Homo-oligomer: A and B are copies of this chain.
Amino acid sequence: MAGSDHPPFAVTVDLVLLTVRSGRFAALVVERGEQPFRGRLALPGGFVHPDEDLPDAALRELREETGLAPSLGHLEQLASYGAPGRDPRQRVVSVAYLGLVPDLPEPVAGTDAAASQFMPVDSLLRTAGSLAFDHDAILADGVERARAKLEYTSLATAFCPAEFTVGELRAVYEAVWGVELDPRNFHRKVTGTPGFLASTGASTTRGGGRPAQLYRRGPTRTLMPPLLRT
């Protein structure tokens, strides 16, 4: 760090906010109201304030876009993107954060982004250029990170409400990975891993069949051995 003259950079945070909505893996996107890329879809984000820490900026964006407190869900740093020319206006380094939230009752209670909505990730990733800037690549990185983390962490519970059934948890895995899992083996795995699930004693019958037990997320954060997609 030879601190003499150094070029001016702008620093932003961008949010890859993922959820599972009616059985589909979806990401929050906003329609840009200004140039450049006016009218195009983009990831929510904004400039970091002068005395604001990076995680605080990401939490502020999360609140502004979803009205969600981070008590439920999960937020972690994803990666940083700073290629020259990624923003045509000036040199911008963007620190991307990955957020996982349960299906929101209010689609988006946000204040800023009136034109924000969840869209299925497979349709967003199918064609390059769906999103402005390099947000295609950022979204792809976030989706891959989320898919990988379901294998060896209990992060899938971040997509669920506070209380959920084994079947609902399995639906999360199936939506995120785009595969079908055997209900019996999945049930054995998640109930057999100590600390993954905490029983509430209650049961529910939201679906058609036999009532299912309700669980809360347990204290275990890392799955050993992992739950592998084949």
Residues of A within 8 A of B (CB): 1-3, 6-12, 32, 34, 42, 45-54, 77, 79-84, 87, 89, 91, 93, 95, 224-226, 228
8 A–B contacts, CB within 8 A, in A order: A2-B46, A9-B9, A9-B10, A11-B11, A51-B84, A77-B79, A80-B95, A224-B228
User: Interface SS of chain A: helix, strand, loop or mixed?
Assistant: loop
User: For residue A10, which residues in chain B have a CB less than 8 angstroms away from its CB?
Assistant: 6, 9
User: For residue A1, which residues in chain B have a CB less than 8 angstroms away from its CB?
Assistant: 12, 32, 42, 45-47, 87
Q: Which of A32, A53, A228 has the most CB of B within 10 A?
A: A53
Residue from B2, B11, B81, B226 in contact with A93 in the complex, judged by beta carbons closer than 8 Å: B11
Residue from B8, B46, B54 in contact with A80 in the complex, judged by beta carbons closer than 8 Å: B54
User: For residue A79, which residues in chain B have a CB less than 8 angstroms away from its CB?
Assistant: 77, 79-80
Q: By the criterion CB–CB under 8 Å, are A82 and B34 in contact? A: no
Query: How far, in whole Å, are A42 and B51 apart by their CA atoms in the complex?
Result: 24
Query: How far, in whole Å, are A7 and B46 apart by their CA atoms in the complex?
Result: 12
> Given the known A-B contacts A80-B77, A82-B95, A228-B224, are A3 and B89 also in contact in the complex, defined by CB atoms under 8 Å?
yes
For the complex with contacts A3-B47, A7-B49, 20 further pairs of A-B residues with Cβ separation under 8 Å are: A1-B12, A1-B42, A1-B45, A6-B11, A7-B47, A7-B48, A8-B8, A8-B9, A9-B10, A9-B48, A9-B93, A11-B11, A48-B82, A50-B84, A52-B84, A54-B93, A77-B79, A93-B95, A224-B228, A226-B226
Query: How far, in whole Å, are A84 and B52 apart by their CA atoms in the complex?
Result: 7
Q: By the criterion CB–CB under 8 Å, are A84 and B11 in contact? A: no
Q: By the criterion CB–CB under 8 Å, are A53 and B83 in contact? A: yes
Query: How far, in whole Å, are A80 and B94 apart by their CA atoms in the complex?
Result: 10
User: For residue A224, which residues in chain B have a CB less than 8 angstroms away from its CB?
Assistant: 228
Smallest CB–CB gap between A119 and chain B, Å? 19
Query: How far, in whole Å, are A95 and B12 apart by their CA atoms in the complex?
Result: 13
> Given the known A-B contacts A54-B80, A82-B11, are A93 and B91 also in contact in the complex, defined by CB atoms under 8 Å?
no
Query: How far, in whole Å, are A80 and B34 apart by their CA atoms in the complex?
Result: 28
Q: Which of A34, A51, A54 has the most CB of B within 10 A?
A: A54
